[in-house]
Copies of this chain bind each other. A is one copy, B any other.
C-alpha cells in the first residue's frame, strides 16, 4: 500500500494523453497505476483543485499548463538521469530505467542542471526518448514505426518504446538500439501474425514489437 505521488499521477496522465492530447479516462489511469477506480476519481478531483489537471466527471482528465510543467520536469529528470548513469557508472540501457524511476523525484533542479551540463546538453536519452529542456521544450523528429516498413527498406532505429530489461537486452543483442541500421529483408504473415525478417534472415520481430521501434528510412550505403 505505498501511496502514489502527485508527480507519478501527472506523469501517467501525460503519457496516456499522448500527442493527440485526448482526455485520459479513469480506467486507463487505474490500470496504469494499478489502483482502484474510486481512488483515481478522488485523486483527479484533488489534482483539479490544485489546478494541475482539467477534469470533467465521466469524461476524463487533461493536464493543465501547470500540470504539464510538473510532468515534464519529472520526465526530464528521469531521462537525464538515465544518460548520466550510463555515461558515468557504466549502466546498460536495460538497467537505467528502474533506477531513474526512483531518483527522478528526489533530485533538485540544480543537480539536474549540472548533470545536463556535464553531459553536454543531450537531446535524447539511451532509448531515443527526447529530453525536455528546463523550460519544457521537446525535440521532435519525423519517425515511423518499424511495423509499417516494407520489404527492401533500410532504416535507422531512432527510438525504442519498451523499457522491459529482458526485451531491451534482446533488442540490443540483435542491433535494434538507437543508431542501429537495419535492412528489412521480408515482411510475412503466418497464422494471422505478422513478422519482419531483418538483416541475417534468422533475426525476426513480431509486428507488436516492431510497432515499438521508431525508425527513419536511410539511403543504401
Contacts and interface: CB of A to CB of B under 8 A. Distances in A.
A78 to B, nearest CB: 12
Contact of A107 (B90, B103, B111, B115): B103
Interface residues of A, number: 17
SS class of chain A's interface: helix, strand, loop or mixed? helix
A64 to B, nearest CB: 23
A147 B91 CA distance: 46
Contact of A105 (B88, B90, B99, B106): B106
Contacts of A99: 107-108, 111
A55 to B, nearest CB: 24
Contacts of A89: 111, 114-115, 118
A85 B111 CA distance: 9
A106 B103 contact: yes
A141 interface: no
A63 to B, nearest CB: 24
A17 to B, nearest CB: 27
Interface in A159-211: none
A82 to B, nearest CB: 12
A102 interface: yes
Nearest to A105: B106
Contact of A88 (B88, B91, B98, B108): B88
A25 to B, nearest CB: 30
Contacts of A108: 98-99, 102
Contacts of A98: 108
Nearest to A115: B89
Top 5 closest pairs, chain A to chain B, by CB: A106-B106, A102-B106, A89-B114, A103-B106, A99-B111
